[in-house]
Amino acid sequence: MTLRFTAGATAATALGLGALTLFGAGSAMAAPGTVTWTDNGTVYNRTVSNTTPSVGEKITITTKFERTNATDEQINWLKDWHPTCLTYVTDSAKVIDSAGTHGVEPYLEIRPDFIAGDFTATSYKVIIKKRLGDVQPATFSAQYTVGADCAKGAAMTTGVEYLSNLGHHADFKTQGPSITVGGTPGGGPGGTGSADALPGGLGSLLSGFGSSR
């Protein structure tokens, strides 16, 4: 398995005296972070829109799946793991594929440390393909609100877990990127964050929807 991590950083924009008078000392930029890895013929690209958010800010976590060979992969269910101090934003979970954008609710279980979508129950199927003339990646994304109970300056992990026709992928639950509230960007396993870089248990769900692990 290969792994890459890139992160943006918080930056201040210098303003002229007139602008300083109107707006203060400048505004911080978002510090997006991305971790990319390959496993079993699938390339994963996972991004946090801001790895150094403020309390009350909404952030988007996105995982993109792409195949590197002609064997199709169909995702049955997916968990998006996140710190418990993040709160899922209702109706924000989406899947984007070659047919467009699809909502995940009401087939979404919401827990303190993960959200889980059951794609065996949806009207669409999440299938990742790579064939001549038929390349179909898929992207899962969701928004979260940063809570006041997030530990300041501590790197908190995120990750993904899912079941597909190619197996149970349970090793990516802490893959990253990590989130540091009021701190500098962190990385997933094997990755690093840089303050100088510029932005560049599914039991209840399965029992509820009749899926099998």
190: left (phi over 0), alpha (psi -120 to 50) or beta: left
Q: Is 64 a domain residue?
A: yes
Residue 16 included in any domain:
no
Q: Residue 84 domain-assigned?
A: yes
- Is 46 part of any domain? yes
pLDDT tens track for 39-48 = 999 999 999 9
Residue 39 lies in a domain: yes
Q: Which of 196, 198, 186 is nearest to 5 (CA)?
A: 186
For residue 103, the enclosing domain spans 2-9+23-200
pTM for the structure as a whole: 0.74
Residue 22 predicted with pLDDT over 50:
no
Query: Residue 128 has what pLDDT?
Result: 95
> Residue 173: pLDDT above 90?
yes
137 class by beta-carbon count within 10 Å (0-12 exposed, 13-18 middle, 19+ buried): middle
Q: State how many domains the chain has.
A: 1
Question: Is residue 164 in some structural domain?
Answer: yes
The arithmetic mean of pLDDT across residues 107-123, rounded, is 97
- Pick from 77, 72, 66, 69: nearest CA to 44: 66
Q: Which CATH number characterizes residue 72's domain? A: 2.60.40.700
Do the domain assignments include residue 15?
no
Cα 128 to Cα 43, 74, 96, 115, 173, distances in angstroms: 11, 6, 11, 21, 20
Question: Is residue 206 one of the residues assigned to a domain?
Answer: no
